[in-house]
Amino acid sequence: MAKRDYYEVLGVSKTATADELKQAYRKLALQHHPDRNPGNKASEEKFKEINEAYETLSTPEKRRMYDQFGHAGAAGAGGAGPGGFQGFEGGDVGDIFSSVFGEMFGAGRGRGGPRKGADLQAEQTVSLSEAFTGTQTTLRVSHQTSCDTCSGTGAKPGTSVKTCSDCRGSGQVRATRGFFTMAQTCPRCRGAGKTVDSPCSDCRGQGHVRKTESITVRIPPGVEEGTALRVSGAGEAGDHGAPSGDLYVVIRIEDDPRFERDGANLLTQGHVSIPLAALGGEVDIATVQKTVRIHIPAGTQSGTLLRVRGEGMPSLHGGGRGDLLVRVIVDVPTKLTKDQRRLMAELAQSMGETGLNFEEGFLKKAFGK
């Protein structure tokens, strides 16, 4: 099966910046990570595809070669394609895996040392008005935080941690398998590079304890459904003083009965009478925050879309605001007074309408005859 275009895989344009690539990658990786989709082979393959695309496009030289020569160019850049080996002697399969997956989920260590904390995900629902103006909210998050008693070292106060005697602080030991030399996590210190002889009584030597804390999140104007906002360092605590993971807050937008949303544009309805639609005029239409008066051209048909520029949602990435699209609904009256029926009948006759029910009694009701 032919490989998909890497830009298409990440859902970005070919002019995407490094930050845009990273944001797209994080969002997709969170969605398709195997830990969140156990046993789902489709998500597993999608996750591999996402990481292969990001590994290429996030490396300037590989991206340049890919843009010029496609997948063949990316495979030739740097002597290895995405996920390929960098050589046998001293090659570390764990390091290759960590460089792709470790940053996002804390799943791997660098070349030894304590492991970064895992990322967390939470959801926050806001109204359309809050999404319009932007807001600030507070979440209660249960996560592992650095132990205050031992300052995250895991050692009993008054004692200290020691360099692991097996890996000499690297967090890894090397094992030879025939022609291959592979690095493995040190079994003694579990990759921390240090050992604790006298563990802290509060955290039992782990260096972190579980707490529920209030996390403040700033929600920017124009935020969209499914946007993942990153709160740096608000995830799980890292091992023995390593950096904490991040908290990703996924935004949900409440339905607003007044509007339908399409990106930065909003769609609403404007009800007008038959005379106003026929003769033209003006009508007041509600936006998210105020009321605007719009012009209805003469002869406007029911279902016509009128555009009010700049009265939609703010653009999340800057560049002004979207538009308000007003679908005109021409209201047909269900009850008429005697004078209104007479005027309608006169109008129909003047326009040569032949389909009206002019049976006996109708003219009497309309004209009082």
pLDDT band of 353, cuts 50, 70, 90: confident
pLDDT in tens, 40-65: 888 888 888 998 899 889 888 888 88
pLDDT at 103 over 80: no
Structural domain contains residue 62: yes
Structural domain contains residue 77: yes
Region 56-75 average pLDDT: 80
Structural domain contains residue 153: no
Residue 321, pLDDT score: 93
Structural domain contains residue 327: yes
pLDDT band of 109, cuts 50, 70, 90: very low
Which residues make Cβ contacts (< 8 Å) with residue 353, sequence separation at least 6?
none
Q: What is the CATH number of the domain that holds 277?
A: 2.60.260.20
pLDDT in tens, 327-342: 999 999 999 999 998 8
Based on the structure, what is the number of domains in the chain?
A: 2
In the listed set 84, 103, 132, which residue is the last one of a domain according to the structure? 84
Domain that holds residue 25: 1-84
Residue 365, pLDDT score: 56
In the listed set 65, 84, 103, which residue is the last one of a domain according to the structure? 84
Q: For residues 263 and 314, give the distance between their C-alpha atoms in angstroms, rounded to a whole number.
A: 9
Structural domain contains residue 336: yes
pLDDT at 180 over 90: no
Closest C-alpha among 182, 201, 205, 202 to residue 192: 205
Residue 83, pLDDT score: 37
Structural domain contains residue 279: yes
Q: What is the pTM of this model?
A: 0.58
Structural domain contains residue 204: no
In the listed set 68, 84, 100, which residue is the last one of a domain according to the structure? 84
